[in-house]
């Protein structure tokens, strides 16, 4: 009768595996958090209507982006006034969301850097982050609906054309970067 034994990993190897797993988990969470929060809605750049960044940043920057969009659409004074009010209200609402998001990120750092990671706390945090992201998405969607109600069909067509051109440029850039990526 032959008996086989399995040698347990040394403490050093086990420690390296834990560090690697922890690092991988943090990288995945950071990537998810950054892409879900920072990405403009619909995957478009921040200059067109619908970009998540349009309602973030300093009031001056936000104003310049909105003015560029409205100039491109040849918006009337009445449209400019209405759209600026919509954007300002959304930006104000989203500021509190950004503050809530920062608090959740800090909670995450506390959970994932604790000596013993509490899986239940991590899951609760994930659910809170998803709910918070849903609130941001809902507010952005409402602002986009409100803005679209102010625009004429011709202006909406211009926005769509601009977004399509921008998406094509982004796709070209993605493909170029993929071709230029060093092979391993």
pLDDT digits (tens, 9 = 90+) for 102-158: 999 999 999 999 999 999 999 999 999 999 999 999 999 999 999 999 999 999 999
Residue 41 is predicted with a pLDDT of 35
In this prediction the pTM is: 0.60
Residue 153 is predicted with a pLDDT of 94
Domain boundaries of the chain, sorted by first residue: 37-180
Supply angle C-alpha 85, 43, 149, rounded to 5: 35
For residue 161, with 0-12 CB atoms within 10 Å meaning exposed, 13-18 middle and 19 or more buried, which class applies?
exposed
């Amino acid at each position: 009768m032959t008996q086989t034994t399995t040698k347990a990993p040394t403490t050093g190897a086990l420690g390296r595996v834990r560090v690697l797993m922890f690092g991988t988990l943090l990288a995945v969470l950071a990537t998810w958090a950054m892409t879900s929060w920072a990405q403009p809605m619909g995957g478009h750049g921040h200059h067109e209507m619908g970009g998540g960044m349009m309602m973030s940043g300093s009031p001056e920057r936000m104003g310049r982006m909105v003015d560029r969009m409205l100039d491109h659409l040849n918006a009337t004074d009445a449209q400019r006034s209405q759209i600026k009010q919509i954007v300002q209200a959304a930006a104000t609402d989203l500021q509190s969301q950004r503050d809530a998001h920062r608090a959740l990120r800090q909670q995450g750092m506390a959970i994932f850097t604790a000596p013993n990671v509490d899986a239940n706390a991590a899951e609760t945090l994930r659910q809170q982050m998803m709910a918070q992201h849903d609130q941001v998405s809902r507010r952005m969607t409402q602002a986009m609906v409100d803005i679209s109600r102010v625009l004429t069909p011709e202006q909406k067509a211009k926005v769509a054309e601009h977004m399509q051109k921008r998406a094509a440029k982004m796709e070209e850039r993605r493909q170029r970067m993929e071709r230029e990526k060093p092979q391993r």
